[in-house]
């Protein structure tokens, strides 16, 4: 009888632990907490004749209040703050951050945001055609020489902030190292254009490097090098 009573007591104790665990889990899921998220800013409807030259922030930090269960429904990768720039003109504009435009799950609410304003600077767009200059460094392998370097296309159209585009004299490629090279090669390279300057049309830039063998000096029949007077 005592053993049976002890078994029942153990089952009651295990049941009580189970119930308390469930209640604790429910209470943890239902209690409200705050969590922070960094929301990237996406610029929308920017006029074609202007470009962005500066912005005060690239994302907005928000604090969201809600239950743990509700906050689990927030996917940071789905958060984005769209900023409408239609009608933008050269100069600086200030935009109030309106977090009511952000879509957060039911049972949560945004309680704070930083910054409260976004400043954006614009400049008129410019374009310019410049030559492409291949940047080569190093020496080919022993017995070889760099015969020719060609770039395709030889010229490109640039676009971007007008004041910066007009200062670009040539589009220089990333450095191509030919150290130890013993055969001709062809490489697709990037251009170093500077800040707020881009290719008007995305296109591959290819540099062709021609390597030739170094011809040994001619030797006269008497053993003297060609072009030298006998002693």
Is the model's pLDDT at 138 over the cut of 60?
Answer: yes
| Of 170 and 223, the one with more pLDDT | 170
For β-strands 32-44 and 81-84, DSSP reports them as: parallel
Tell me, yes or no, whether 207 lies in a domain. Answer: yes
Q: Total domain count for the chain?
A: 2
Produce one character per residue of 143-175: b if its CB has 16 or more CB atoms within 10 Å, e if not: ebebeebebeeeebebbbbbebbeebeebbbee
Q: What is the pLDDT of residue 217?
A: 73
Whole-number Å distance between alpha carbons of 141 and 29 = 68
pLDDT higher than 60, residue 49: yes
| 197 found inside a domain | yes
Q: Are residues 43 and 111 in the same domain?
A: yes
Query: What sections of 149-194 are H helices per DSSP?
Result: 162-165
| pLDDT, tens digit (0-9, with 9 covering 90-100), for 157-177 | 999 999 999 999 999 999 999
- Please give the structure tokens belonging to residue 197: 């300057």
Q: Which long-range contacts (CB under 8 A, 24 or more apart) does 214-220 make?
A: 214/143, 214/144, 214/145
Q: What is the DSSP string of 117-148?
A: EEEEEEEEEEEEEEEEE--EES---TTEEEEE
Domain boundary among 83, 103, 123: 123
Residue among 185, 180, 179 nearest 148 (CA): 185
Output the domain CATH number for residue 118: 2.170.120.30
Q: How confident is the model at residue 144 (pLDDT cuts 50, 70, 90)?
A: very high
Alpha-carbon gap, residue 134 to 47, rounded angstroms: 34
Whether residues 108 and 155 share a domain: the answer is no
**Together in a domain, 51 and 106:** yes
Residue 149 confidence (pLDDT) above 80: yes
Clarify whether residues 106 and 41 are in a common domain: yes
CATH of the domain at 202: 2.170.120.40
Asked whether 209 and 149 are in contact (CB, 8 A), the reply is yes
pLDDT of residue 24: 54
| 79 lies in the same domain as 89 | yes
- How does residue 95 score in pLDDT terms, banded at 50, 70 and 90? very high
Helix (H, G, I), strand (E, B) or coil at 4: helix
Q: Are residues 100 and 131 in the same domain?
A: no
Which residue reads 């239950």 in tokens?
Answer: 67
CA 134-212-153 angle, 5° bins? 30
Domain boundary among 107, 123, 139: 123
Residue in the structure block whose two tokens are 């767009």: 125
Encoded tokens for 25: 């889990």
Q: Which range marks the domain in which residue 107 is found?
A: 33-123
Q: Which residue has the higher pLDDT, 151 or 9?
A: 151
Residue 62, Cβ density class (10 Å: 0-12 exposed, 13-18 middle, ≥19 buried): buried
Which domain-ending residue is among 123, 158, 193? 123
The rounded mean pLDDT for the chain is: 87
Task: Note whether 152 and 208 are within 8 A (CB).
Answer: yes
Instruction: Report the pLDDT value the prediction gives residue 224, as an integer from 0 to 100.
Output: 55
Of residues 155 and 229, more confidently modeled: 155
The span from the CA of 33 to the CA of 176, in Å, is 54
Global confidence as pTM: 0.66
Whether 104 and 144 map to the same domain: the answer is no
Q: Is residue 205 located within the same domain as residue 132?
A: yes
Q: Examine the domain organization and report whether 43 and 113 are in the same domain.
A: yes
> Residues 138, 179: one domain?
yes
Residue 147 is assigned to a structural domain of this protein:
yes
Taking only the tens place, the pLDDT of each residue in 57-73 is: 999 999 999 988 899 89
């Amino acid at each position: 009888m005592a053993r049976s009573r002890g078994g029942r007591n153990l089952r009651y104790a295990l049941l009580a632990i189970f119930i308390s665990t469930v209640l604790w889990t429910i209470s943890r899921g239902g209690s409200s907490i705050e969590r922070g998220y960094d929301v990237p800013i996406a610029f929308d409807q920017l006029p074609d004749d202007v470009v962005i030259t500066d912005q005060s922030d690239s994302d907005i930090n928000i604090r969201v209040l809600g239950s743990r269960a509700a906050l689990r429904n927030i996917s940071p990768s789905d958060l984005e703050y769209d900023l409408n720039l239609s009608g933008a003109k050269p100069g600086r504009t200030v935009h109030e951050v309106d977090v009511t435009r952000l879509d957060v799950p039911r049972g949560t609410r945004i309680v704070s945001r930083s910054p409260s304003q976004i400043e954006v600077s614009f400049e008129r767009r410019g374009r310019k055609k410049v030559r492409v200059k291949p940047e080569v460094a190093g020496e080919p392998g022993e017995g070889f020489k760099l015969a020719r370097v060609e770039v395709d296309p030889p010229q490109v159209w640039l676009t971007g902030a007008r004041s910066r585009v007009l200062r670009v004299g040539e589009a220089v490629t990333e450095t191509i190292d030919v150290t130890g090279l013993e055969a001709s090669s062809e490489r697709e390279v990037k251009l170093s254009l500077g800040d707020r300057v881009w290719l008007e049309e995305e296109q591959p830039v290819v540099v062709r490097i021609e390597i030739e063998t170094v011809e040994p000096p001619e030797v006269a029949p008497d053993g003297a090098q060609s072009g030298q007077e006998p002693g």
